[in-house]
Amino acid sequence: MKVVVAGVGAFGRKHLNAIKEIDDVEVVALVGRRQEQTQSVADEYRVAFASTDLSAALALPGVDAAILCTPTSMHAQQAIQCMEAGKHVQVEIPLADSWEDANAVNSQQEKTGLVCMVGHTRRFNPSHQWVNQRIRKGELRIQQLDVQTYFYRRKNINANGEPRSWTDHLLWHHAAHTVDLFQYQTGEKVVAANGIEGPHHPELGIAMDMSIQLKTESGAILTLSLSFNNDGPLGSAFRYICDNGTYIAQYDDLVDGHEEPIDVSKVDVSMNGIELQDREFFAAIREGREANSSVAQVLDCYRVLNQIERQFQS
């Protein structure tokens, strides 16, 4: 399978490293914002074609699919562009930064029938998979999911500490991980949503602190705190408070409520959530089926984000 990767920043590299672990997949082109940087990464990963033009990469002979790790504001338009070119597409989270654009991508997928998957990585982390498997077996039921997502982003930098050409967003990016995970793990729609945001950064123009509360049909609740002002340990911690135990997940690791480690090494074929996400994308293409975290499956997450954003605006 021949794949184009667009975006050569922190997450583009994560996908390039993941794909190296997957048989029968070849990255044939890299697309970036600056030719010199893109060529440098292409040389490092031995990719033959480097360009600043996504259309040129998609037009290469035999290209089957694309993975988009580009700035958020480009995701929806580029996902549609890939499908218009007849290519399957995985777009990194978030799918879009508006409800209208999210719907437009979903409409294009329905029109073409191509695999269109969104990088909601929490569905694939072995820690969250372990909890999901127990829920599906009827061994657990979530009472509350308590999540802290904390970063120190007072300057416009990426996960590698490098300058960014675009501005990240707590709601449409980081909250999207948890809003989707909450609905995925409970198997229910969100029926009540409430959000408040703190002051906007004078230069970045975004809220640097945020609090979100959700409730599902059966009464399970989510409490989510997010910050770009946090000067301390970084990342996301997910506390599952269940009817039969408490579990704390942090990326691919899991402990119980007493901080005793839980072995999740046998949950899947890898301990790397990004690799598992990419494996699902390629498997869905080969098997001609809908992918886990398809645009249709995650669309309701963006409905909830839109509802919360409207609260902020009012």
Rounded distance between C-alpha atoms, residue 64 and residue 225, angstroms = 39
Average pLDDT, the chain: 95
**Which pLDDT score is estimated for 160?**
62
Lowest mean pLDDT among 45-49, 149-153, 220-224: 149-153
Specify the higher pLDDT residue, 271 or 206: 271
How long a stretch of residues is the chain?
Answer: 314
pLDDT in tens, 229-248: 999 888 999 999 999 999 99
Assigned token pair, 52: 């600043």
Rounded distance between C-alpha atoms, residue 273 and residue 282, angstroms = 14
Q: What is the pTM of this model?
A: 0.94
pLDDT in tens, 60-111: 999 999 999 999 999 999 999 999 999 999 999 999 999 999 999 999 999 9
Rounded distance between C-alpha atoms, residue 207 and residue 153, angstroms = 11
Q: Is the pLDDT of residue 34 over 80?
A: yes
Question: What is the number of H-type helices and E-type strands within the chain?
Answer: 9, 13
- Domains in the chain (CATH in brackets) are 2-120+274-294 (3.40.50.720), 125-267 (3.30.360.10)
**Which pLDDT score is estimated for 153?**
77
